[in-house]
Amino acid sequence: MLRANYKTLTTKPLCFLILYFVSVFAHAGAFERLFAPEAVLQEAWLAHDESSTQKIDHHHWNDFLARHVKQDSQGINRVTYASVSEPEQRALQSYINAMQNIPISRFSRDEQLAYWINLYNAVTVNVVLMHYPVASIRDIDISPGFFSDGPWGKKLLQIENKALSLNDIEHGILRPIWKDARIHYAVNCASVSCPDLSNKAYLSAGIDQQLDEAAKQYIAHPRAVRFTDEGVVVSSIYSWFQNDFGQQEADVIKHLQKYADDEMINKLNGIQFFADDEYDWSLNDASVKAP
C-alpha cells in the first residue's frame, strides 16, 4: 500500500518517483491491482426465491463445451474456436438469448449462481467467435471509453429490463453477492493463464463440488502456483483480486493450501509473501500450439 505523503512525493525529482513506484509495485500484479474492478454490489440482483424449485436448462451450453473444450498437452483447457460452425455459433447465440429471457430474480441462489457463471462464460466465448481470429481477448476493444481494453465494459445483455456487461456480472453480481473466492476459478476470460473454461456447464445441483474441483485443478497447475529460487510465483489473479482471497498475501497462501495437494501444502508452509506474479493474456485457442 502507498503510505508516503503525496505532497512529499511530488516535491521529489522524477527519478526518485520512478524508483519509488518501482519499489512499491515490486511485481506487475501489484500495479495492475490499482485498475482491477472492485466488487460493487448492484442491489437489484439481490432478489431471489429460496422456495423456488425451478431449474434452468443449460444443456445447449453443455453440449457446446463438450464439443469444443479440449485439454492441451500442458493440461490447459482450450477452445476450438476455428472449428465452430456457423450453425453452432447461431445455437450459442440462441442459448444466450434464451438466458436473457429468464426472470432470474425468481430463482434460488444456487440456480442463480450457475446461471450467471454459465452466461458469463457463454457470452465470453461468443464475443471471441464474433471477432475471431484474435491473439488475445484484450484486442477486442469494444468497451466504451478512450482507454477501453477488451470487451468487458460493453453492455452486451438485456436481462429483466437492465443492460448488463461482463463486468457487471462478475464485479456487480457474482463477487459481491456470493463473496466466494472460488468464483474466480469458474468465470473464464478466454486467456491461457485464466482458470480453465470447464468442459461442463455449471449446475445448481453439486455446484459447490464443481467450484471446489475448479479451485483444485487451477491451483495444481504451474500457471497458478510455481516455485523458483526466489520463492513462490503466483497467477496475477491473486494480486489483482487479493482482497477476495484474504487481506494479506499470507492469507492468500492459506487459501492456496486449502485446495492444494500435500506436496504443495508443505512447500507453502512458512511462506508469507509472493516472490512475483505473472499472467499470459494469449487467447485460449486450441489451434495455437502450446510452447
Report whether pLDDT(22) > 60: no
For 15-27, b/e burial (b = at least 16 CB within 10 A) is: eeeeeeeeeebeb
What is the rounded average pLDDT of the residues 177-189?
A: 98
Looking at the DSSP assignment, which residues form a beta bridge with residue 285? Answer: 79
Q: Report the sign of the C-alpha dihedral through residues 56, 60, 66, 72, in that order.
A: negative
- Cell 468442459 -> residue: 199
Report whether pLDDT(154) > 50: yes
Listed in sequence order, the DSSP H helices in 40-108 are 59-68, 86-100
Report whether pLDDT(11) > 70: no
pLDDT band at 245 (very low <50, low <70, confident <90, very high): very high
Grid coordinates belonging to 163: 443492460
Looking at the DSSP assignment, which residues form a beta bridge with residue 227? Answer: 232
What pTM value is reported for the model?
A: 0.89
Report whether pLDDT(121) > 50: yes
With beta carbons less than 8 A apart as the criterion, state whether 132 and 82 touch. Answer: yes
